[in-house]
Amino acid sequence: MPGLSPFGGGSDDATFDERGEFVPEHLPEPGSFLADHEVLVGDAHVAVHGIARELFEERGVYDMTFGYNLARLNLDTRHPGAGFRYAEEGGERNVLRAEFTPTTAFCPQTHTLTVGAFRAWNGLSERHDYELVRIRAAPMHQESDAVNEQLRSLEQEYRETGSVPDEREESATTEGSTADAPF
């Protein structure tokens, strides 16, 4: 197939579900972070994911392996079981939970992509109705504990200050961490 990378980002739209289409067999199963909360399905999932696509585009949350906006991973039929699932937090409908399942347990971009997703959702909070969007990496990822610890820290700082922590401040506190290896 000319122009179609085996990693993604090609021009063959036959490998992608249509925007606005909810295809559960091409999405990850909701994981432990979404358990006991109202998992979004159908039109509700599509609507939230459409917002994610816009926010990721504005903030440059791109999967560099596949060469596309990270939200497009949910539509990529070559990677069923990878992407985002969403749930509204039980008792707090103004809190969205988003769990990212990478394509592999060793995806080196998981840290960068989940932090980027957190920054996009919470840094552009005027674009949606949620007071907080909580992001986590699925437990299948080998570094999910370390990644999720940093996400909890960012979330706590956001709750305390009302603003997304500055990237420079964050890099000073995580200097020496291997979560973002190899960079």
d(Cα 20, Cα 147) in Å, to the nearest integer?
A: 30
**Which range (9-13, 18-22, 24-28) has the least confidence?**
9-13
**Structure tokens given for 56:** 């990721």
Q: Is 7's pLDDT higher than 90?
A: no
Q: Mean of the pLDDT values across residues 132-160?
A: 97
Q: Which residue has the higher pLDDT, 6 or 82?
A: 82
Q: Identify the burial level of 18 via C-beta atoms within 10 angstroms of its C-beta, where 0-12 means exposed, 13-18 middle and 19 or more buried.
A: exposed
Examine the pLDDT at 40 and tell me if it is beyond 50: yes
pLDDT for 180 beyond 60: no
State the pTM of this model: 0.85
CB count, 10 Å around CB of 114?
Answer: 28
Q: 131: pLDDT confidence band, cut at 50, 70 and 90? A: very high
pLDDT for 93? 76
> Mean pLDDT, the chain, as a whole number?
87
